[in-house]
Structure 1
Amino acid sequence: MENLCNFGEISFSAIEDKLSSSNDTFWHTKKVTEMKNVQFSLAEDQGNYNGIGSLCSNFCFFQDDPSQEEELLFPTNQQKFHHQQKSYQDHEPLDNLQFDMVQFDEQFETKKLPLCDTKKDKQYFQNTPLAAPVEILKNYGKGFKRLLPDEGKILHPVNDFGLVTDNDNERKLSTADIMKIAGTKFIQSSSSSESASGLILNHPFGFSFSGLSDEEKDDISLAESLLACAEKVGYQQFERARKLLSQIESLSSKTGNPVKRVVYYFAEALRQRIDRETGRVSINNMQKKESLFDPEVETKDLTPTLVAFIEDLPFCKVSMFPCVQALIENVTDAKKIHVIDLAIRKGLQWTILMQALQSRSECPLELLKITAISSGNTDTSKLVVEDTGKRLKDFAQSLNIPFSFDTVIVSDLLHLREDHFKIDSDETVAVYSQFALRCKIQQSDQLETVMRVIRTINPRVMVVAEIEANHNSKSFVNRFIEALFYFSAFFDCLEDCMKGDEKNRMIIESMYFSHGIRNNVAEEGAERKSRNVKIDVWRAFFTRFGMVETELSMMSLYQAELVAKRFPCGSSCTFDMNGHCLIVGWKGTPIISVSVWKFI
């Protein structure tokens, strides 16, 4: 950790394998009566958009006493909200996913270093084959704590590890649990060194596997074979890997249970990597195939699949509401609020903010200004952003909120400058970044430019939500294991939240998740654009720009917990704290981080 003090040496590739987002610090339990002013309430159906229900219909900010939990979740008095419902229903729904050099004082001068050097981004081979994978599997096997409501309290930690080790417990193992057990068996069967054996003895899954169902035993064997195949691919033992892969492919299925589904797509990615490494498929052909579907482009538009992802899976809204709450708390005394959004997409977050500001009485709002930043194809970007702006203007008008929308569109973020932003001296500026920075890890010079411009603007607060995963390791095997646990959690979530044969689920798995898996497993160097990093890496990066992390309020944490309750599968949504950062997970596996930053 001492390396964090040496800002000049910080880079994503240097830090990622040394830092973990996990710690055992949880927020203290507090009385519900400490929560004030904000509640979620159910609004009636608000019309349709091409046959798709409104995304903002179920989650609204309203002023009330949040200690009345039943009233929050199941309000009986709908008349209170009827006038707002009528004003919303004519507007199309809004979604979000995901999702010039300036001078500094010497105190904040930063040395520009590449955060991701794709020219040097080649897999490396460890002298001790199992050392790093063992550590990763060991970390994932620590069990987890779930934060649940209790009488008179908001949240408290509960140890759920017993569900795996208790043979009398009839609860089904999660997909991640299957992977943990498979990892332990893989280590036990592969390791002969004394050091690795020591790790196994301390591993929480070092127990007898009796008591598991036949299906679970089959799934564990299948996952163990996948790990063995990945190790052989990592050591370029391609013929041995092919033989093992053929068996894996025959037992996995994209329509089976979540374990068989996730193994199917990882096996598919391993096959593509082998074909690429052995010359059976050229890199150019793989790049052409990848260009046919770009998730970053697809998520800028509203589709039935994306709507289903937002509506059925809890992560987007569970992370969005504490972000908006944190922003509100930092601009409570501002009459003119100017928010710079680094990736606005359809702007669902701003409909939430508007509803919260509508009832603010202490400091009446004179203006809410949103500035959206976009780059790339300027014509296409302009149309997408302007369409979002029109929808937000209509929504603000329906709430009688003074609203202004502006855009900053550049062909390349390297061209972004402070004077692109129309900022008045009496405005309070905030920056909102939801899944925006991860897209620029590979283009480290662009990311540097964006952060330098933001530093010069000096906003009151910057709210950040990012994917909490390490998909930027130079080691193929390490990256494979990290991706396996991350996507296993998502496939498990889809199993609980969607029907097995649902069309949108199949699209999410076969296109969006398959693309992410393939990008992590089958590709290297500049081709690998999916490079998520954990909060510790972002924390070190932000420090270079004179940023300090601030504590999320109990209200923000309560917002996340309350939104999770609104989903049928929300009880499997888990919460952890890493320093001041909220980690939203699925059955203990980290998925998203939410953090708040200020400039010093």
Structure 2
Amino acid sequence: MENLWEFGEFSFDTTKNVKFSVAEDLGDCNGIESLCSNFGFFEDDPSQEEELLLSTNQQKYHHQPYLDYEAFDNFNIDMVHFDEQQCPTRILPFCDRKKDNQYYQPSPLTPVEILKNYGKGFKRLSPDEGKILHPVNDFDLVTDNQNESKLSTGDIMKIAGTRFIQSSSSSESISGLILNHPFGFSFSGLSDEEKEDVSLAESLLACAEKVGYQQFQRARNFLPHISSLSSKTGNPVKRVVHYFAEALFQRIDKETGRVSSNNTQKIETLFDPEEVSKDLNPTLIAFFEELPFVKVSMFTCVQALIENLKDAKKIHVIDLEIRKGLHWTILMQALQSRTECPLELLKITAIATGNTYTSKLIVEDTGKKLEDFAQSLNIPFLFDTIIVSNLSHLREDLFKKDSEETVAVYSQFALRSNIQQSDQLETVMKVVRTINPIVMVVAETEANHNSKSFVNRFIEALFYFSALFDCLEDCMKGDEKNRMIIESLYFSYGIRNILAEGVERKSTDVKIDVWRAFFARFGMVETKLSMKSLYQAELVAKRFPCGNSCTFDMNGHCLLVGWKGTPINSVSVWKFI
């Protein structure tokens, strides 16, 4: 029987956020004002668910001019030239964390230690008299100025978690607590709505505890109360609790035999985010346009590629998950502006899996659009596709290589879908190792959703999705339709997947420390992201209306992109020894 308090694989990290640029210097470079069209790069030379399912399944794929890219994301970029004198490199208070040397075995923490770390409050940045911003404590802001400060969804979950641990501990344990939480057992300083939200979140945690103990009927007794107080249309706390309660209902019903796993799997196959996201629909376009994480990661990755390929005349990039290839339109525009090393060839090899006709059409459509886009920029371009039934069939001889080409590998959220299929992940890395690229750029989800412990996965997922729901609340206020579709389809699916067991879990996420241990087996060494790449990340984030809540942290050489301090994505650069 699983014990709620066995947190051996689970920990919350106190995150420090870092300001990379110097005040307004970079923001004013070349008159950059437009979010959609004026990003630049630093050069080295100075109910709606059914509607969405129907529209997704009935998409028609046909060749359209390259200008179709502008219909959903206008990437006409005015290149920013990096001026070392204008934006000097400074020593900033980066947070370099200690690496864990044991693969999949973080140091165990007690619940009190976990919530002590988390209860300190993640750090936000507050301007002072100088140009570099410094961390401040969230809870200090709440306590000092409650009338003007609204608790985030993550804040509510932190308070609920602390109260739950305190109320579940013995009196002896309580007397020895070192949490020193500003709210403690009381609701002092909270609004009526915040008090309701904290109580609701506590009830959800109590329900998860019972599931962890396999006390399924007792857990089920909590759910009607939770469901009555939560809602798809309430504030972000009520919404995230609603979808977690739904997932718990499903988990309990499968465990107790009320619903068979086969029936559940049939329902899940009607909507698979991994497949849907290979193409674009209006909801995904809205997600990319209004939330900063994807663009920040994308532009940072491309900046890293530009720097590592600065001397290459013939460039061959292998894309492990090309989707619609928006990142390559960005790279093309950056390469077009090169003066000292004119480009002779850009070749992109896209790896695709599956034998479905739709998958083939999507990749071919992407290739045609990229070819048109390259032609419009007068860039010599070749596009190649490798389609295998699954990645375990990937081989080096499938790649068309030229000894004069400089090879790089690009992986944007491509590896996470293969964590459950370790043989496929191993094959990919062995092939990449054999090809021996000059650099491999990786963007991944920064979360630990791979624990064997149900409770650990639940808590990690609760705080991760709380940050995402909070972000949608701030960034998509004027787009309720797409926000609801994202939450009710994409996020709901992700929550159910994380809370499922065994083979029912189709994909998962691990943190950068786990990827480090995995990559090290193939002779890969993490290289430092340049200050230019870090500036690029910040530059992109602050072009979003909600960009001030997008936070950054350095974990070793890796950049963590987060929301109000909660890590969401990671960007890292790797080379082979």
Give the alignment's TM-score, normalised by structure 2.
Answer: 0.84
Matched, 1:481 2:473: no
Cα pair 2:318 2:348 within 8 Å, conserved? yes
Matched, 1:296 2:274: yes
Correspondence for 2:34: 42
Matched, 1:377 2:369: no
Q: Offset at 1:498?
A: 1.1
Q: Offset at 1:192?
A: 1.1
Q: What is the alpha-carbon distance in structure 1 between the residues aligned to residue 306 and residue 104 of structure 2?
A: 32
Q: What is the alpha-carbon distance in structure 1 between the residues aligned to residue 319 and residue 416 of structure 2?
A: 15
Correspondence for 2:484: 506
The one-letter amino acid paired with 1:17 is E
Q: Offset at 1:28?
A: 7.3
Q: What is the alpha-carbon distance in structure 1 between the residues aligned to residue 284 and residue 133 of structure 2?
A: 31
Superposition pairs for residues 300-311 of structure 1, below 5 Å? Answer: 300-311=278-289
Q: Structure 1's 23 and 422: CA in aligned 2 closer, same or farther, altered over 3 A? A: same
Cα pair 1:19 1:537 within 8 Å, conserved? no
Q: What is the alpha-carbon distance in structure 2 between the residues aligned to residue 333 and residue 277 of structure 1?
A: 58
Match of 1:17 among 6, 9, 14: 9
Q: Offset at 1:205?
A: 5.5
Matched, 1:322 2:339: no
Q: Structure 1's 201 and 150: CA in aligned 2 closer, same or farther, altered over 3 A? A: closer
Q: What is the alpha-carbon distance in structure 2 between the residues aligned to residue 48 and residue 420 of structure 1?
A: 29
Correspondence for 1:76: none
Match of 2:79 among 48, 62, 75: 62
Q: Deviations over 1:217-270 (max 9, x none)?
A: 000000011001100111111222122111111100000000000000000111
Correspondence for 1:579: 556
Cα pair 1:186 1:224 within 8 Å, conserved? yes
Q: Deviations over 1:158-212 (max 9, x none)?
A: 4444223335452110000000000011011111175576455355654753111
Correspondence for 1:436: 414
Q: Structure 1's 595 and 161: CA in aligned 2 closer, same or farther, altered over 3 A? A: farther
Cα pair 1:334 1:428 within 8 Å, conserved? yes
Q: In structure 1, list runs of 5 or more residues that go unmatched.
A: 1-14, 70-113, 117-127
The one-letter amino acid paired with 2:225 is Q
Q: What is the alpha-carbon distance in structure 1 between the residues aligned to residue 194 and residue 83 of structure 2?
A: 41
Cα pair 1:416 1:450 within 8 Å, conserved? yes
Matched, 1:351 2:368: no
Q: Structure 1's 428 and 518: CA in aligned 2 closer, same or farther, altered over 3 A? A: same
Q: Offset at 1:431?
A: 0.5
The one-letter amino acid paired with 1:382 is K
Cα pair 1:375 1:409 within 8 Å, conserved? yes
SS of equivalent to 1:486: helix
Matched, 1:190 2:168: yes
Q: Offset at 1:401?
A: 0.9
Superposition pairs for residues 239-388 of structure 1, below 5 Å? Answer: 239-377=217-355, 379-388=357-366
SS of equivalent to 2:231: coil
Cα pair 1:347 1:392 within 8 Å, conserved? yes
Correspondence for 1:93: none
Match of 2:123 among 141, 145, 149: 145
SS of equivalent to 2:485: helix
Cα pair 1:32 1:67 within 8 Å, conserved? no
Correspondence for 1:175: 153
Cα pair 1:37 1:66 within 8 Å, conserved? no
Q: What is the alpha-carbon distance in structure 2 between the residues aligned to residue 33 and residue 495 of structure 1?
A: 30
Aligned length: 528
Q: Structure 1's 267 and 152: CA in aligned 2 closer, same or farther, altered over 3 A? A: same
Q: Structure 1's 35 and 497: CA in aligned 2 closer, same or farther, altered over 3 A? A: closer
SS of equivalent to 1:332: coil
Cα pair 1:345 1:385 within 8 Å, conserved? yes
Q: Offset at 1:549?
A: 0.5
Q: In structure 2, list runs of 5 or more residues that go unmatched.
A: 1-6, 39-63, 87-102
Q: What is the alpha-carbon distance in structure 2 between the residues aligned to residue 213 and residue 317 of structure 1?
A: 35
Q: Offset at 1:520?
A: 1.3
Correspondence for 2:495: 517
Give the alignment's TM-score, normalised by structure 1.
Answer: 0.81
Q: Structure 1's 270 and 34: CA in aligned 2 closer, same or farther, altered over 3 A? A: closer
Q: Aligned residues: percent identity?
A: 76
Q: What is the alpha-carbon distance in structure 2 between the residues aligned to residue 150 and residue 359 of structure 1?
A: 37
Superposition pairs for residues 579-598 of structure 1, below 5 Å? Answer: 579-598=556-575
SS of equivalent to 1:433: strand
